[in-house]
A and B are shown apart, each in its own frame.
Chain A
Amino acid sequence: MSRRPEPGVRERAAATAAGQATAARAARDVTSRIARTDRGEGGLNAFVSHDPELLAERAAGLDHEMDRSREQGRAPRLAGVPVAIKDNLCTLDLPTTCGSRMLEGFRSPYEATVVRRLREAGALIAGKTNMDEFGMGSSTETSAFGPTRNPHALDRVPGGSSGGSAAAVAAGIVPAALGSDTGGSIRQPAALCGVVGIKPTYGAVSRYGLVAFASSLDQVGVFGRTVDDAAAVLEVVAGHDPLDSTCADRPAPVLSGAVDAGADGLVVGVPEEYFPQDLDPGVRRLAEDAIEGLAREGADIRSISLPHTRLAIPTYYIIAPAEASSNLARYDGARYGFRAVADTAAAMYARTRSAGFGAEVKRRILLGTYALSAGYYDRYYGRAQGVRALIAQDFNTAFAAGVQVIFTPATPGVAFRIGERVDNPYDMYLADVFTVTANLAGIPGASVPIGTLGDLPVGGQLLADRWQEPLLVRAASAVERAVGSGAR
């Protein structure tokens, strides 16, 4: 894994726009890094689709456009910056598989809004990254195309479900990547891979072209080597989209000023529920060091309580599978994707879905269908939605009392070994214990590296109120500075 200093996203874009760097060179670098680190025995398997010839062709076209942009005095914000795309975001030029046999080889007939915005800003779409099947997982082990390895330790998981994107950034293949976060699927792999991950406010980024898992929880977000890199990409992809009725009618946030704003006077809440007795002592120590660092930078640290936190995992693992069972009903072999051979339509549906979905997806579909079925709806789904409101209320109360950001560990431990948790689903679900609350409440969150235990990264999580991405970025970059993790 490369540790040599790399220019940031804004610097790369500026250099390409000014003619000091070329998209063609960036494309060659990506292709050679993928060949070196991602493929073959011992490779990361972060990418499921990468077309070197197409990438080179796009890069050549981009360099030609840059010549015209310079003549016109324009500087595309992500000129020549390679960005990897999680494989549940629809692209026209590369397949969109969602890590599933059900969509193996599927070519989307339309492009996700976030991908279109990246291209229009001059970015290079480097390839599609591996993920847990349909976003269901916390380790990238449920992918039908094999697990992704953690660049810091090849026998360990990168986290999930956006593990491919996190690994691609951590390994230095690309400076930034898109992911999606339904219960922590950006923040958790960011923490385990030692990179920055940002999940925006629900509704801040268009979900048009994001293959749905749980529609009230899903949100597209970004990975970067630094907070500023992630923020630079978020500024481009966020903002109103008329093609997504759940995307708020707000412009994209301006975040560049927030990166160097410092922590002086920032009110930081530290919830006791996120520091349980059984928290890994090393994670606790690094989190406490980060909090002390914020205090040294002038932050006002306050103990708070988010009393319904203990109910978050059961709440999430009823609501998310319930929504998934509805969203994944469309995969029946009739109109696109995999189709099993059968004599009748009903047999076709059942055989297609049984052969096309992996074990975790089937498990969650069954759980969700059960929770929504007659006789059980009120006991499980109805009750979970009520508790969800209590969890959201906990955050509202804290923010109303003057807390501006909340700091917690991002994960209860470091990256676990590949295969370690596949036999006990609920143990795997507990990897999300600190991240699901933000999705349930719809608030933005970020994971920032706060140190290592041995060679394994640990992440700290910042949470802010809805639409407070500038505060979130300010706090995240203050943590980055306090722990010295902003090095590229």
Chain B
Amino acid sequence: MTVTPETVRQVAALARLSLGAEELAALTAQLNGILEHMEALTGVETAGAGPVAEPADGAPLREDQPGADPLAVHPAELAPDFADGFFTVPRLASHADADDGTDAAAGEAG
């Protein structure tokens, strides 16, 4: 199966990656080269294969107690921007874009 540059662009948008034209072309070629090797899995009969491993004691639960490992510093000290107890980021879209219904976020993510 061959992926096209348009498919790679759509996948990049899902992954919140912005690719230039040259990067897009190179990655398309590389992904196709890698996916060609993945075709070896086509047609392999996997029905009847058991689980990779059975956990002996299931998924353990911990006590519902907060602060099991307190942070050494407040998250505000790690954040690029922090105000009034919140991480702050640029606004999701400009007012002008929202007024005319343009989804500026989707356009810029590609």
Contacts and interface: CB of A to CB of B under 8 A. Distances in A.
Interface of A: 92, 106-107, 109-111, 202, 208, 242-243, 245, 248-249, 310-311, 313-315, 317-318, 325, 329, 332-337, 339, 342-351, 353-354, 357, 362-363, 365-367, 369-370, 373, 379-380, 383-384, 386-390, 392-393, 424-426, 429, 440-442, 466
Contact of A440 (B52, B57, B110): B52
A426 B36 CA distance: 10
5 contacts: A106-B78, A346-B92, A353-B18, A369-B11, A380-B41
A346 B105 contact: yes
A230 B65 CA distance: 36
A110 B71 contact: yes
B3 interface: yes
Contacts of B44: 311, 383, 386-387, 390
A336 B87 CA distance: 9
B interface, how many residues as a size bin? Answer: 35 or more
Nearest to A382: B46
Contacts of A249: 57, 60
Contacts of A335: 75, 78-79, 87
Contacts of A357: 17
B34 A317 contact: yes
A373 B31 CA distance: 15
Nearest to B40: A314
A373 B11 contact: yes
Contacts of A392: 52-53
Interface hub of B3, B8, B12 (most chain A Cβ within 10 A): B12
Contacts of B78: 106-107, 109, 335-336
Given A339-B80, A370-B31, A315 B41 contact: yes
B2 interface: no
Contacts of A346: 16, 92-93, 104-106, 108-109
Nearest to A313: B37
B87 A334 contact: yes
A424 B33 CA distance: 9
A387 B89 contact: no
Contacts of A353: 15-18
Nearest to A325: B15
Nearest to B104: A344
A344 B34 contact: no
Interface of B: 1, 3, 7-8, 11-12, 14-19, 27, 30-31, 33-35, 37-38, 40-42, 44, 46-47, 49-53, 55-57, 59-60, 62, 68-69, 71-73, 75, 77-81, 87, 89-94, 104-106, 108-110
A325 B18 CA distance: 15
Contacts, number: 182
A336 B89 CA distance: 12
Contact of A109 (B27, B30, B72): B72
A354 B31 CA distance: 17
Contacts of B77: 109
B19 A354 contact: yes
A336 B81 CA distance: 9
Contact of B38 (A317, A344, A390): A317
Contacts of B33: 424-426
B38 A380 contact: yes
A485 B87 CA distance: 54
What 7 pairs between A and B have smallest CB-CB spacing?
A386-B46, A346-B105, A389-B49, A350-B18, A109-B71, A339-B80, A347-B108
Contact of A387 (B3, B46, B62): B46
B91 A344 contact: yes
Contacts of A111: 72
A389 B31 CA distance: 25
Contacts of B52: 388-389, 392, 440-442
Contacts of B79: 334-336
